[in-house]
Amino acid sequence: MDASSWLGALAAWAAAHPSMLLLLAAAVPAVCILLAGITGRLRSLPPAPEATAPPPEVVAPAAAPRPAGLRDRLRLTSEALVGRLGSLLGARRVDPAALEDLEALLLGADLGVRTAEALLETVRREASGGDLAEVRRVLREAILARLRRVQPQAASATSAKPHVVLVLGVNGSGKTTTIGKLAARYVSAGRRVLLGAGDTFRAAATPQLQVWGERVGCEVIAGTQGGDPAAVAFDTLKAAVARGADVAIIDTAGRLQTQRPLMEELAKIARVIGREVPGAPHETLLVLDANTGQNAISQAKLFTQAARVTGLVLTKLDGTAKGGVIVGLADEFGIPVRYVGLGESVDDLRDFDAAEFVDALFGE
C-alpha cells in the first residue's frame, strides 16, 4: 500500500468515526504536555551520584518510641524565641533595622517588656555588626545568666519531719496535678507522704486529690466542702505528726483571690501550719501556668504580696509557645523555679535545671 492509499483509508476511517477523531484531537496535546513535564522534571533532577559518592545509609528499623525529651516538650517555646531568629536575620548583619525586627520577636516571645528590652540592649551592645550565630550566642548567654539566678541551690530540704509544702496558684494552674506528681516523687524516694485537700471550695477538688492519692499510694486528709481550708491544713499536720509522715503537701483553692481576701486566707493557713509544726511551711510553691504568658507575671506579683513564696512551678510548658515567660519571671522576682511541668502524666514533673533548659530552648 502506498502513501496515498494509506491517506485515503485514514480519511475514510475518520469519516466513519468522527467521535474518535475528536477524542484523538483532545488527547494529543495532553500527551505532549505530559511528555514535556516528564522531560523538564528529569532535567531539573540533581545529577546522578558519581561513582565516588559514599554508599547510601542503611535504613534501620524504627527504634522503639522514647519518652519525649525536654527539647520536644519545649518545641513551641523554642520556635517562638529561637527558631524564628534564622528566618528573621538570615544572612543579615546586626544593624538598626535588624535590631528593630529582633525587638518585635523578643516582645512577641512573652518574655515581658522589661526583659525583652534588656536582652535587646545586650544584643545591641555585644553583637552589633555580628551575624545570626553571634546573636544566638549572645542571647543564649544572657538568658542562661538570668535562669541560673533562679536555679534552686539544692534539693528541697527534708530534715524537718514532716516537711510541709503549701501549694498556691490561681484556678486551673495545675496545683493538684503538681501535688500528685510531687507526691509520686517523694514516695518513690521512700518517703511517707500525706496530702491535705485544702481546696474546700470546688466540689470535685477533694475527689481529684484522692484519685492522685490512690494512684501514688498516699493518704489524703479531707475536710467538708465549703469548710475552712485552714482547718484542713491543721488536720493534715496533726495526722502527719501522729503517723510519722515525712512530707505533708497541702492543696489550696485556686479561687482564693476572688472569693475572699487572699492575704487573710493565706496568712491564716500559714499561721495555723506554723503553729502546728514549727518552721512550717518549709516550702510555699506558687504554681503558674506557662500558657498564661504575661498574666503569670501579674499572678506572681499578687501571690508574692500575699505569701512568702519560696519556689515557683511553671506548668504546661509542653503545650505552649509562651514558655519564654520563665525568663521574665526570673528577671522580675528572682524566686527559684523549683519544678517545671511538661505534661499530664505522673512523671512529667522535672527539677528545673537552667543549663538543660537553655540547651533545649536553643536546640542543642
Ligand X SMILES: Nc1nc2c(ncn2[C@@H]2O[C@H](COP(=O)(O)OP(=O)(O)OP(=O)(O)O)[C@@H](O)[C@H]2O)c(=O)[nH]1
The entry of Mg ion, ligand X, none near residue 315 (CB within 5 to 8 angstroms by kind) is: ligand X
Across the chain, which distance is largest between two alpha carbons, in Å?
Answer: 118
Residue 322 CA to residue 333 CA, distance in Å, equals 18
342 binds, among Mg ion, ligand X, none (CB under 5 to 8 A by kind): ligand X
d(CA 23, CA 29) in angstroms, rounded, equals 11
Q: For residues 137, 138, 143 and 148, what is the CA-based torsion angle, rounded to 10 degrees?
A: 80
Q: How far apart are CA 252 and CA 19, in angstroms?
A: 82
Q: Among 151, 156, 173, 176, which residue interacts with Mg ion (rule: CB under 5 A)? A: 176
Distance CA 207, CA 276 (A): 26
User: In this chain, which of 199, 246, 265, 283 binds ligand X, going by CB under 6 A?
Assistant: 199
Residue span binding ligand X (CB under 6 A) among the ranges 7-15, 62-70, 109-117, 197-205: 197-205
Closest CA to 218 of 193, 239, 198, 186: 193
The answer to whether 309 and 167 have CB atoms below 8 angstroms apart is: no
Stretch that binds ligand X, among 46-54, 118-126, 173-181, 226-234 (CB under 6 A): 173-181
What is the separation of C-alpha 139 from the centre of its chain, rounded to a whole number of angstroms? 19
* CB of residue 348 to ligand X, shortest distance in Å: 6
Tell me if 174 contacts ligand X by CB under 6 A.
Answer: yes
Q: CB of residue 159 vs ligand X: minimum separation in angstroms? A: 28
The stretch near ligand X (CB under 6 A) out of 81-89, 116-124, 166-174, 265-273 is: 166-174
State the Cα–Cα distance between residues 219 and 212, nearest whole angstrom. Answer: 10
Distance in Å, CB of 167 to ligand X, minimum: 8
When CB distances to Mg ion are compared, the closest residue is: 176
Nearer of residues 115 and 315 to ligand X, judged by Cβ? 315
- The entry of ligand X, Mg ion, none that residue 130 binds, CB within 5 to 8 Å by partner kind: none
Task: Give the 3-state secondary structure of 291-340.
Answer: HHCHHHHHHHHHHHHHCCCCEEEEECHHHCCCCCHHHHHHHHHCCCEEEE
Residue 205 CB, nearest approach to ligand X (Å):
5
- Three cell numbers written together for 250: 497541702
Instruction: Choose the binding region for Mg ion from 91-99, 172-180, 285-293, 300-308 (rule: CB under 5 A).
Output: 172-180
Q: Are 177 and 315 in contact (CB under 8 A)?
A: yes
- CB of 233: closest distance to Mg ion in angstroms? 15
- 144: number of Cβ within 10 Å: 19
Q: Is the CB of 173 or the CB of 236 nearer to ligand X?
A: 173
**3-state SS assignment for residue 95:** coil
Of the candidate spans 154-162, 167-175, 217-225, 342-350, the one that interacts with Mg ion by CB under 5 A turns out to be: 167-175
Contact status: 175 vs ligand X (CB under 6 A): yes
* Least distance between ligand X and beta carbon 189 (Å): 21
Q: How many residues touch ligand X (CB under 6 A)? A: 21
Q: How far is the CB of 185 from ligand X (least distance, A)?
A: 14
Q: Which residues pair with 350 in a beta bridge?
A: 340
- 213, 223, 254, 293: residue in contact with ligand X (rule CB under 6 A): 254
Chain length of the chain? 364
Task: Show the cell assigned to 42.
Answer: 528529569
The stretch near Mg ion (CB under 5 A) out of 122-130, 174-182, 261-269, 302-310 is 174-182
* Beta carbon of residue 251, minimum distance to ligand X (angstroms, whole number): 7
**With CB cut-offs between 5 and 8 Å by kind, which of Mg ion, ligand X, none does residue 265 bind?**
none
Is the CB of 284 or the CB of 315 nearer to ligand X? 315
Which grid coordinates are listed for 262? Answer: 487572699
CA distances from 303 to 71, 160, 167, 299, 357 (A): 30, 25, 11, 6, 25
Instruction: Select 116 or 179, whichever has its Cβ closest to Mg ion.
Output: 179
Q: Within the chain, how many helices (H) and strands (E) appear?
A: 16, 8
Where along the sequence are the contacts to Mg ion (CB under 5 A)? 175-176
Where along the sequence are the contacts to ligand X (CB under 6 A)? 169, 171-177, 199, 202, 205, 254, 315-316, 318-319, 341-344, 348
